[in-house]
Chains A and B, each alone.
Chain A
Amino acid sequence: MSLLSVRDLSVVYEPRGGEPVPAVTGANFELQQGDFVGLVGESGSGKSTLGFALTGLSKPPARVSAGSILFDGVDIANLSLADLRVQRHGGFAMVLQSGMNALNPVRSIRDHFYDIFAAHGHVSRIDREDRAVELVGKVELPSSVLDRFSGELSGGMRQRVSIALALSLEPKLMIFDEPTTALDVLVQHAVMNTIRELQASERFTAVLISHDLGMVLEVTERVMVMHEGLIVEDNTAAAILAAPQHPYTQMLLSHYGDPRAEVVEVPGLAVRGTARAVSSDVPGREGRAAREAIVVRGVSKIYPPPRRGEKPVRAVSDVSFRLEPGASMALVGASGSGKSTIAKMITGVERPTSGTISFGDLQVDTIKRRSLKRLHTEVQMVFQDPYSALNPLHTVEYILTRPILNFSKRRGQDARRRVLELLDTVGLTPAPQFAARLPHQLSGGQRQRVVIARALACEPQVIIADEPVSMLDVSLRAGVLALLNSLRETWGVSMLYITHDLLSARLVTDQIMVLNQGAVVEEGGTASVLQNPQDDYTIRLLEAIPHPQVGR
């Protein structure tokens, strides 16, 4: 008999005063003991809803409306809360995306383990310490973490602790809901390896929920692809990789590429080969092409110590580069490598501790508030999170009108024409309809286009894009990247592209700088650096990228 069998499962959201919305419709599958299955889909595909339903964690307004979930022969869809709680021991457990925030900050890690042991009484009082040490050992943490508090651990360590906590009930079924998404690239890789090894040694059944098909294909044996609440494909990882059946899977798969390849191609983006020269003489439109270079010389930024008695934080140390007019450069590194701090210093938000930054005749490092406005007419920023970069209460038209009124002489109808023109440029058509919308009526990709349109509104020479696609679904990324690319090429704007994602860096930039702990460890042409990395850190970053193709 299979461990888990799901039949015709449907989950609906029934918000108060709103129409019920189906989130999962007619899911059918079976899991055997020891399976490692991936559940892939984009945001809103119902994958997390399904995961919550499998562990009996569905919360209102979500409700299991039809079908059954047989776990070891028991239908958990209709279990009472008390029975469900008993069932969790030796039953099913879940590791959440924000699992690292699930730890109580005022209790030590040991207390967390003891609470669970006490609640289920499956570990005798004398054995508790040994069992806790054993559990943290399984997730490759030293026993000393038991004495620490969650605030003293890094994100990766906390996620490992929450995995160990989930393991403490000896579950037969573990559901990992985007366990590494909130973590840094290199840490992601390490945590994923731990999960993989644990699954192999403990032989629990695991379901890995993720938006990242590449990663899932790499670590799991069987993959289910969800789209609009339906499981559209359910096959072995090898089969999906070799011959994806459903067009949606094919589309998802087409967005993966190896940044080290000779030629990298993603749908919607122009082919970018090795031979491409650095082009600084872009045929820009009159008055729009970048004329000035950003020159950064020996810049360092030291933040005061976070707590008394600690050392000052050195965010950036002695970085020098030159962003030529019309060029595109990638600034790559894991979080904490100082790449965002550099962006803040170039835009005058922060001041460097030492070194100089100049843009044309503007000395950015010592800029006064009055000239800051002049700098912002030339240097604009595209933000990482399109969900927080737009004020939820203003219409798109208001958002785009502000920079036009502030930076140009257009008024009234003239300004409105410009707004519509900008929306056209970023591909939001019909423009008048989009102008009247509020941010919550737009999708993530559309929001990011509005953010880009706003950055373009004052016809800047330089655009600083801070991880512009990291919050977007894979299928939307290519569109936004293609837009950035074409804007740069047709208008001759220079672009500083900040990212941890080497594939997208390869797709839109000609030059690259790799940062590690505030210092530049490698720089050069994007293609040549990625194909032939010299520094150990660059190599590690490259290896952390999931390669579904590799090793098959």
Chain B
Amino acid sequence: MTVPDPADRGTHAVMVARKQADAPAMTSPLGVVWRAVATIWSVPKARVGVALLGFFVLLAVFAPLIAPYDPSDNGFGRSEDFSAAHWMGTTAAGQDVLSQIIHGASTSVFVGFVAGLLSTIIAVTIGLTWGYLRSITGDVINFVVNLFLVIPALPLMIVIAAYLQNGGIGMIIFVVVITGWAWGARVLRSQTQSLRSRDFVTAAVFSGDSPARIVFREILPNMTSLIVGSFFGAATAAILAEAGLEFLGLGDSTTISWGTMLFWAQNSNALLTGQWILLFAPGLCISLLATSLSLINFGVDGLSNPRLREGANR
């Protein structure tokens, strides 16, 4: 055949440029991850987010090494002000505040990660199945999801948490997951519905693939950025919800976390005694951690949409 081939001629300018950029990285799963990290890193906002998150993760992992004292050791003077021995002073119960802040990071990071992951898994499973099926099952799921969407999350959380009294972190994760998956499921469902009508999905049906395989091998990988975005969103919500529940005294008040610190600070009227750092430090940490995740989400947008990458300099 004498027909020339455009790929050999290397014609389409943009296509070729993208090919060169993508070709080596796209070949292995590790390459995909590396490319994702590189994409997120190329967005300045996301870079700040990654640095912040990295800081908190390091704090959480190496808390026992970094913290000057045992956070539950109440053998120090009560409600002490800043000093060389206690940089942030001590609590009303006589614990070192800095050590509590450092150890509190591990609770928040852990809850954020686990609850975010679990609610994303539920959202993905339900959202994708719901989006792909066109039968009565879809209507049933629709009803359940709408139910979870209309119930106000905070009162529901409080009710469940009050019911499962003092269940500790496990209970908090459970409550956050139960109330947090529905929105993600809804978003993923609409994307699935739009991908479902693509030719490659029909082609997979013609290749004899089962519905489950089509959903998870053909459709799912095409919405990575949405799923990663929904994970960071869920993790942010989980961190805030955890702090909120602990602050209301609905968690186990003996665990060391930023939420319980706020709870005890409020209980001991820290503001009235002038120990503003007791409220300010955990509050700032919570908002910084949540901010870091939101900042990373800016970079995630560029993952599956190259136009957002190129348009960034306009």
Contact = CB atoms under 8 A, between A and B. Distances in A.
Contacts of A436: 27
A17 B21 contact: yes
B281 to A, nearest CB: 40
B14 A268 contact: no
A380 B204 CA distance: 11
Contact of B1 (A251, A376, A427, A444): A427
Contacts of B15: 44, 440
Interface in B156-208: 198-200, 202-208
A377 interface: yes
Interface string B1-42: 111111101011111111111110011000000000000001
Contacts of B27: 436, 438
Contact of B2 (A16, A229, A268, A455): A268
A458 interface: yes
Contact of A454 (B11, B14, B203): B203
A377 B3 CA distance: 32
Given A402-B208, A443-B5, A15 B222 contact: no
B203 A13 contact: no
B313 A60 contact: yes
Given A16-B309, A60-B310, A380-B206, A440 B14 contact: no
Contacts of B274: none
Contacts of B22: 440
A347 interface: yes
Nearest to A22: B13
Q: Which of B6, B7, B22 has its CB near the most chain A CB atoms (within 10 A)? A: B6
A385 B205 CA distance: 17
Interface stretch (A95-103, A283-291, A299-307, A471-479): A471-479
Given A349-B202, A402-B207, A441-B19, A478 B310 contact: no
A228 interface: yes
A406 B217 CA distance: 15
A70 B29 CA distance: 51
A44 to B, nearest CB: 3
B11 A385 contact: no
A267 B18 CA distance: 32
A49 interface: yes
A529 B22 CA distance: 49
Interface string B200-239: 1011111111000000001001100000000000000000
Chain A, interface SS category: loop
A436 B312 CA distance: 32
Contacts of B6: 42-44, 443-445, 473, 476
A21 B198 CA distance: 31
B200 A391 contact: yes
Chain B, interface SS category: helix
Q: Which of A21, A46, A444 has its CB near the most chain B CB atoms (within 10 A)? A: A21
A443 B11 CA distance: 10
Contacts of A45: 11
Contact of B203 (A389, A392, A440): A389
A291 to B, nearest CB: 20
A355 interface: no
A205 to B, nearest CB: 27
B16 A21 contact: yes
Interface residues of A, number: 64
Contacts of B209: 402, 406
A519 B42 CA distance: 56
A135 B206 CA distance: 49
Interface string A421-461: 00000010000000010101111111000010011011000
B199 A383 contact: yes
B222 A392 contact: yes
B9 to A, nearest CB: 6
Nearest to B14: A13
A521 interface: no
Contact of B11 (A44, A376, A394): A44
B217 to A, nearest CB: 8
A251 to B, nearest CB: 8
A412 interface: no
B314 interface: yes
Nearest to B16: A21
Contacts of B17: 13, 15, 18-19, 21
A475 B21 contact: no
Contacts of A61: 14, 310
Contacts of B5: 443, 445-446, 476
A438 B313 CA distance: 29
Contacts of A389: 199-200, 203
A407 interface: yes
Contacts of B203: 381, 383, 389-390, 451, 454
Q: List the 8 closest A-B pairs by CB distance, nearest first.
A: A406-B208, A44-B12, A44-B11, A443-B7, A389-B199, A403-B207, A21-B13, A479-B3
Interface of A: 13, 15-19, 21-23, 42-46, 49, 60-61, 228-229, 251, 267-268, 347, 349, 373, 376-377, 380-381, 383-385, 388-394, 402-403, 406-407, 427, 436, 438, 440-446, 451, 454-455, 457-458, 473, 475-476, 478-479, 482
Interface of B: 1-7, 9, 11-23, 26-27, 42, 198-200, 202-209, 218, 221-222, 309-314
Given A389-B199, A458-B207, 4 more contacts: A60-B310, A403-B208, A407-B207, A475-B4
26 contacts: A15-B14, A16-B312, A17-B21, A18-B21, A19-B17, A21-B13, A21-B17, A42-B11, A268-B2, A373-B208, A376-B207, A384-B199, A388-B198, A389-B199, A392-B222, A393-B222, A402-B207, A402-B209, A403-B208, A406-B207, A406-B209, A438-B27, A440-B19, A441-B23, A458-B208, A475-B3
